[in-house]
A and B are shown apart, each in its own frame.
Chain A
Amino acid sequence: MTFLNLILLGGAAAASIPIIIHLINRNRFRIVRWGAMHLLDAALRENTRRLQLEQLLLLLVRCLIPALLALALARPVLKGIEALVGSARSSQVILLDNSYSMEAGGRANGNFAQARDETGQLLDKIARGSDVAVMLMSGEGGMLLDQPTSDHARLSRELNQTDAGFGKAESVKSLENAVATISKMQHPYREIVVVSDFQKVSWPEEEDAERRRIMSLLQEAPLPPRLTFMQVGQSDAENVSVESLDFARLILGVGQPINIRANVRNFGQRTYGALQVYFRVDGKERLRTQIELGPNEETQVLFTHDFETAGSHTIEVFADADTLSADNAYQASIPVWDKVPVLLVNGDPNPQPLKGETDFLEIALRPYGEAKADLRDLIEPTVIQPRLLNARALEDQRVVVLANVRELDNAQLKSLQQFVREGGGLLIFPGDRVNAQWHNQVMAALDGGLLPLPWLDIAGSINDSAAATRIVNSHHTHTALEMFNDPRNGNLGDGEINLWRKLKLRPADTSVSVIAKLESGDPFLVEKKYGEGLVIQCSTPADGDWSNLPARPFYLPLMQQLVTYLASTVYPPRNVDVGKPIAAIFPKEAADKTATVTDPSGGSHEIKIRAREERALAEFTDTQRPGLYVMTGPDKEIIHFVVNTSREESDLRRWETSAVEAMAEDLGASFVRSADAYGELDEHRRFGREIWRPIFWAVLILVFFELWLQQRIGDRR
């Protein structure tokens, strides 16, 4: 016999209470000197034996009641009794593989349809009153209903509405979850059934040790559950997948072309002579191309597109190859900007043309506007003086440039820090007005360092051109500088820098990377990720006081690239992995209003927008299913989110039946191929029965018996 709540068995000690009461009563007696002994003796002779029996019986019943009650609460399980199939209640966890590979064979008759049918049949076979949990193996491994239930009909209904098409099946994580869930379930006979296609990528050999560890955990439980593997579906390795989309992640303006490269891979042995690949924008087909794809071959398809309107857009590359639709398409959400507002903080304003600290920079960022041409600038700079920098000025800005700014007060610094943390870009230029001490001691020390590197001394000489230095023009790997690898876009080594601020490099600090160097060996540009945003620090000013950089041809594209790069952080991200939350930031006024999210299967969810500091945040967490999620804000603004999953599942090769059987045997699990086979198997191995119910009934009967007995004895007094 085993006990589910062993500790409660200690309550059986209460059985001694009636005996103690009896002994106490016996010891508190009175003494009477009695004459009529002969009458008493006659009574004793007649009654003692019967009374003793009655009293003994009463005492026994009174001792039994607490003892049995404790026994029932400890929930004993008789292991030696063979329970009848279908009669004994059990606790079952069915792990259902709902990864997208289960969609192989089509939605109607594919592997998942079969798995669902078999699971339904399993549910039918489980005894009434048993508690069952159907857990899903993909994504976060959630339960079909929130908790185990004995309402099998409801579970069946829910099951019928379940689809595959979720992310990769996490076999180890799912097993762990199943073990944790079943340990909290109520019946002693416990069973975990894994219904899966046993795809090789989801059940890799490398995880054997992990699986064994879980099994040993399972065996250590007081009532170890049995594990059964049920392999379902047909082996069909033919599959073509759009594996990924590559495109420049820099901010995109209206009319700017974007190149999208789709990687298409054939996992099967079939040769595709003319595979149609479609390019869709916002759900509408824009381009179509035809490719050839051999067995196990991978190829790239290139599409170019320019967006006509600003706002949130989606692109999709779709290869019309097979019935497993989940990996036939790959989507991405791309925000297209009409304007990129940039705030230039001018630390040394000057009314004379081109004498101010940010004058060159402003022209570089808005060349068309300055030229009064008809073309439109994407970047929209606003110049302010340092004292006007505050939270309000930072609203809606994407990049802030601090040019020769002496220092900021605490409130300004805090606003700026918040701005960068939430994905804003910050570009810092030195100058003769910079209070290096304040920069180094306050800004560089602020929560991880808003200033990437402390300023050191000014190097070089304004008069001695021999002391001047240049930018090292090697091969650039940084996104912002990549374009200068093409000499047609200008030569960075062209400019001459007379004075520059040395920066105190810290080799141990991996958060700061040098993206361009000076020939003197000092850094020219360093970058640091701060919160969700980026900070770039330049060692020479934005104007022409210390160098001739503003006069060089590369100045304009360099500044454009740096600002565009800094503005390209999309926060919160629009393309996320499966299971990660999607979120959007709204103005403060939107707090407590609702936003609507439409999921890939068309379901609509209302979410409440919560206030967060100076903004409002709408967050949606149920993103187990890969695909397009559309969020509609309170002012009907539409934001697209794409949830992507790993394409590992596209490799449909699965373990042969014999291999799964061997794996099951190795783990001490059973292997079946159908619910019927499971039923037969179950019949032979079901042992153990919980017996608290009959004990509880016995306690109730004893309570009534005790009352009756006491009444009966009392009547005679």
Chain B
Amino acid sequence: MAHLSDFMTPLELQKVSNLQVVARLVVEGFFSGLHKSPHKGFSIEFAQHRQYVQGDEIRRLDWKVFGKTDRYYVREFEEETNLRATILLDVSGSMSYQGEGVSKHHYATRLAASLAYLMLQQRDSVGLVTFDTRARTFLPQRSGVPHLKMMLNELGTTEPGGETELGTVFQAIAPRIHRRGLLIIISDCFGEVKDTIQALAQFRHSKHEILVFQIMDKDEVEFPFKQWTRFESAEQEDEFRMIDPAHFRAVYLENLRKFQKELTDGCNRHRIDFTTMTTDRPYADALAHYLTRRQRRG
């Protein structure tokens, strides 16, 4: 059964201010359209046994071990949830660009919220890192409704600003994400491609799965400007370029193509999943992409 929000574009969803509602609308709308329910859960990974201490839940006692050893042991699992994911959200100045639709930041936060909602619904634990030149906030991976609220609160209040340098910031964040898991990077990936790929490679080296959602505005992809324009840098104050953009369109598009190719090639090389989302695409597309990826992993 199709849901109304299935057909809702980010622009239309913009009117809904509550992030949780947005996330729910997106996720439920998305799932209601699928034939096969993904709510089947995943097996729990066993970690170790430990001696029972007072206060442990009786139901967690391992009765088989008690039968063999006559001692009380409690089963401990690697993780309480199915999946440990961290959403790395770029909140640098370049994300503030807004063309005819919603701003890139707006889109990115909604996308992050929807993904977090979806994952928490699936009992996965999710962490959130927002960053520009450095990590601004760091919410460790958790599951549960209070955590969702915290995340949504963080996503709702963050404002874009500052420069982007993915390479540097990732290098700074990498040590703080100990456990291997899924890293969902939501960014426009503007910056030095080589450094970005290098930093991503480092994550890969730590056995992380990486999913990159590159958020672009349609204007950045098509460069449709005609009249004389003063392009003011969204990341650095007092920096601008005054040009007749029509003359630069072809070269810009060529440069963009090269940039994208480098990024895609770099990601492919390190088996990083790279997807470009323009801000006019429904969030559901991103969710579908995530789930495909998730299933492949599972």
Binding site for B on A (CB under 8 A): 25-26, 28-44, 46-47, 51, 55, 713, 716-717
- Kindly state the separation between the CA atoms of A35 and B234 in the bound complex, as whole angstroms: 5
Residues of B within 8 A of A35 (CB): 93-97, 104, 188, 190, 220, 234-235
Residues of B within 8 A of A46 (CB): 251
Known pairs A31-B230, A33-B232, A36-B188 / 7 extra A-B pairs, C-beta < 8 Å: A28-B227, A29-B242, A39-B252, A40-B241, A40-B252, A41-B241, A55-B247
- B250: interface (CB < 8 Å): yes
A34 engages B251 (CB within 8 Å): no
- B51: interface (CB < 8 Å): no
B251 engages A43 (CB within 8 Å): yes
Residues of B within 8 A of A713 (CB): 247
A40 engages B231 (CB within 8 Å): yes
Residues of B within 8 A of A30 (CB): 225, 227-230
Residues of A within 8 A of B251 (CB): 42-43, 46-47
Most central of B190, B233, B234, B251 by chain A CB within 10 Å: B251
- Which residues of B, 233-272, contact A by the 8 Å Cβ criterion? 233-235, 239, 241-244, 246-252, 255-256, 259
Most central of A26, A32, A38 by chain B CB within 10 Å: A32
- B191: interface (CB < 8 Å): yes
Q: Which of A28, A33, A44 contacts B96 (CB 8 A)?
A: A33
Q: Which residue of A lies closest to B164 (CB)?
A: A35
- Kindly state the separation between the CA atoms of A378 and B97 in the bound complex, as whole angstroms: 121
Binding site for A on B (CB under 8 A): 93-97, 104, 188, 190-191, 220, 225, 227-235, 239, 241-244, 246-252, 255-256, 259
A31 engages B241 (CB within 8 Å): no
B248 engages A40 (CB within 8 Å): yes
- Kindly state the separation between the CA atoms of A33 and B234 in the bound complex, as whole angstroms: 5
- DSSP majority for the A interface? helix
Task: Tell me the minimal C-beta distance from A492 to chain B in angstroms.
Answer: 109
Q: Which of B234, B235, B248 contacts A44 (CB 8 A)?
A: B248
- Kindly state the separation between the CA atoms of A51 and B227 in the bound complex, as whole angstroms: 16
- Kindly state the separation between the CA atoms of A32 and B228 in the bound complex, as whole angstroms: 11
- Kindly state the separation between the CA atoms of A60 and B115 in the bound complex, as whole angstroms: 57
A716 engages B234 (CB within 8 Å): no
- The 7 listed contacts between A and B (C-beta, < 8 Å) are A26-B228, A31-B229, A33-B233, A35-B235, A37-B239, A38-B190, A42-B255
Q: Which of B95, B231, B247 contacts A34 (CB 8 A)?
A: B231
- Kindly state the separation between the CA atoms of A33 and B231 in the bound complex, as whole angstroms: 6
Residues of B within 8 A of A41 (CB): 241
B233 engages A717 (CB within 8 Å): no
- Kindly state the separation between the CA atoms of A299 and B232 in the bound complex, as whole angstroms: 112
A44 engages B243 (CB within 8 Å): yes
Most central of B246, B247, B249 by chain A CB within 10 Å: B247
Residues of B within 8 A of A39 (CB): 220, 252, 255-256, 259
Residues of A within 8 A of B95 (CB): 35
Contact A29 B227, CB 8 Å, known A35-B94, A35-B104, A44-B241: yes
Contact A37 B247, CB 8 Å, known A32-B225, A42-B255, A44-B241: no
B248 engages A47 (CB within 8 Å): yes
Most central of A38, A40, A47, A55 by chain B CB within 10 Å: A40
